[in-house]
Amino acid sequence: MKRIIALLWAVWWANAALGCRCGDADSTPGSKPSSAPAPARQALSAQVAPPSASTAFGPPEALLALPTQAYHTQLVVTARAIHLYSALGLHTLTQTSPPVFTALPTFSVAAMDNTRLIGFAEGALHEVPLSDPKAPRLLGRLTRPPQLLAQHLGQSVWSSSGDLGTSELFSLVHGQVRRIYAAKGTITSLATSADRAYFVEQSPATMPERSWTLMSIPLDGGSAVTGPRHQGRTPAMLHLNEQIFYYHGPERRVFRTSRDFVVEQTAARDVICSPLTAVVHPDSSGQLYCAQLSGITLVDLVSQARQTLPLHPSGPITTMAVGEPGLVYVVDSAREQLELFLLPHRS
């Protein structure tokens, strides 16, 4: 079965015209700063109608079915490979070889980018290069297990529980564990890029009203930058793509904010978006992908036009990523069963 899947995968990849390279340049949405998110700007750049789903993507293609849970998976899509990490280990799919499986320690938390996977197991942080996953190395031992873990280009940051229900933030600097922030409340979401950690801090449980704020801090320590304070439930996740995206469930909105938290605006309204991923271009145009039980909604960040992608999943979508071959996503298809699909870009 694996050989058949690999052959179909190789034939598709060899013949498809690949596109949609994600822009890496910084971009910042334009809007006045406010403690309450501002309405979405009507035009961030020249308005161009997005292609319809029927022309932008081909039909879904099944890549893998695995006997393990679909939640807490990590997914990375590059020009050369698709990497999926689950409780079983690391699966790598390429255009030239059958799927490769690498057994790994059972990580309680893990984070993966385009170059490596970092996870916590047996009291230590381990690094697994995606180019050679059979050559992991020990990064450092920890006295307390991480609750949240993020990494970018091998620079890792994590939160651990502190005293009285608070959180502390740590990083690894030249092989040494360093505490870089002590929260007054709880850190509930964490991401990192460009030598900084970005996180959500929830107010202490003793406060009469629950609130939260976006914050950032250099990975080697220093002064934290604090964004506007928000009332209510914290966002479930942060997605970092030159801008910060988060979903606020009670309002059914996705917000985008600049990395300095100076500007914030609505990226999408009246949408369920858990999980989410986004592609942002240098002119602030781009696409937001919002997963729901029924599939994925694609929202154009400029025109706000939206479309439902033709997925028809057999269960909830738990993880997704966008790269050159297209949109790749993980479906919780049954109890202790996941399926990996590709929605390929059309030429």
| Position 226, amino acid | T
Contacts of 176 (CB under 8 A, 6+ apart): 140
Q: Nearest Cα to 1, choosing from 61, 59, 65?
A: 65
8-state DSSP, 22? P
CB 166 within 8 A of CB 154: no
pTM flag (> 0.85):
no
CB 63 within 8 A of CB 75: no
- Token pair, residue 240, equals 């970092």
Preceding omega of 310 cis (within 30 degrees of 0): no
Q: Which pLDDT belongs to residue 30?
A: 36
Query: Which ranges of the chain have pLDDT less than 70?
Result: 1-55, 347
What are 284-304's pLDDT values in tens digits? Answer: 899 999 999 889 999 999 999
Domains of the chain in sequence order: 2-344 (2.130.10.150)
CB 287 within 8 A of CB 301: yes
Q: Which pLDDT belongs to residue 5?
A: 39
Q: Which pLDDT belongs to residue 36?
A: 34
Q: Which pLDDT belongs to residue 149?
A: 97
Q: Which pLDDT belongs to residue 174?
A: 83
Q: Which pLDDT belongs to residue 57?
A: 85
Q: Which pLDDT belongs to residue 320?
A: 96
d(CA 317, CA 331): 4
CB 210 within 8 A of CB 169: no
